Each structure stands twice: as C-alpha cells, then as structure tokens.
Amino acid sequence: MASLLEEHLFEIRGQGPPPTKDYFQLVITKNEVIWTSWKISVRVECRGAAPKELKASHEDFLHQKMLQQEVGAVFGERILEYTISLCQGKFDYLERLPDDILLRILSYLELKNTTLLAQASQRFRKLCNSEKFWEHTVRNRCTEFTSDMEGIANFIGWRTTFFTFFHTSGSNEQQ
C-alpha cells in the first residue's frame, strides 16, 4: 500500500490568524515536514524578505511542540491532528484514491449510506453531491432510464432527474 503514496502526502497554505497578515505553507512529504512562512508587512525593513523555511523529519516534528502549536494556531487542530497522524505513518488510503475509483465504490452503497459518507469529509461531500455521482446513480439504479431522458438530465441536472424519476414513477430503488 505504501506504493500508493505520492512524494507529497499533504499540502495546505493560507494566511495566518489576525492580527498578522503573514502567509504560511505546510507540506508533508514521505520523509519530512516543511513549514514555510512569509512575513507580510508594510514596513520598509520587511519588504523583499525571503520566506523562512523549516524542515523536520517526521520523528522530529512529533517532538517539536512549538512547531506543532504554530501549525495548530494557523491551520487549526484538525490539520494538526492529521499532520501528526501522517508523521506517525497512519495514512488514509481511501481519501487518497482518485475520484473515478471512489465514484465506482460509491455506486455500490445505498443512498442513505452515501449521505452518511458525505458527512465524513469535504471531499466526500463534494463527491456525493457532484453531477458525476448523480449521473452514475441514475444510470445504475434507474432501470427505466432511456437515451431520450439523457438530454433532459443534462439540462435539468442528474440529481433532479433522479428524484423526479422516483417521485413521479413510483419506481423502487435497486440496492
């Protein structure tokens, strides 16, 4: 399974919390954590200042409480916990799968379970609400779907088509 991992395991960037305007980037690779910060200031002495970069091995990051606190302050506790998990070798392989594979997996779940899965993460919420997901759902579960209905689905949306089809035809969803 380790071969599924890319060189960059995780990356996030953004502005730090007020009152500063500083900008931060956190990159987690297979071997290290890279923390980069850019000082944003109107002061003349700060203009053109190079970004500061700190690199730490996963093991070192787990022992650097100050760096952990800074990551938590800038990106929140959830990102800090995820970073610590990655440094401990706890990888979320399901979250790393490509969308087309995840959509195929979702096609085997009951809709009530996809509703629960959509609450697990932003990525799953986006996938479960995507037109691609609803197109797969209509094509795989609506036995009476015809090619004539495809134009309508493309026009009004696949999700709307799904609920309209079941609401008006009284068909039962095939699980």
Domains of the chain by start residue, with CATH: 2-94 (no CATH), 97-169 (1.20.1280)
Q: Residue 121 contacts by C-beta under 8 Å, 6 or more apart in sequence?
A: 95
Cβ contact 97:106 at 8 Å = no
Q: Show the CA angle centred on residue 111, arms to residues 109 and 112, nearest 5°.
A: 105
DSSP 107-143: TTS-HHHHHHHTTT-HHHHHHHTSHHHHHHHHHHH-T
Burial class (CB in 10 A: 0-12, 13-18, 19+), 152: middle
Residue 174's pLDDT is what?
45
pLDDT value of position 20? 81
Tokens representing 53?
């970069």
Residue 8 has a pLDDT of: 83
DSSP helix, strand, coil percent of the chain (3-state; round to 5): 55, 15, 30
For 106, other C-beta atoms within 10 Å of its C-beta total 22
At residue 168, the pLDDT reads 55
Parts of the chain with a pLDDT under 70: 1-6, 46, 166-175
Residue 97: its pLDDT value, please?
A: 81
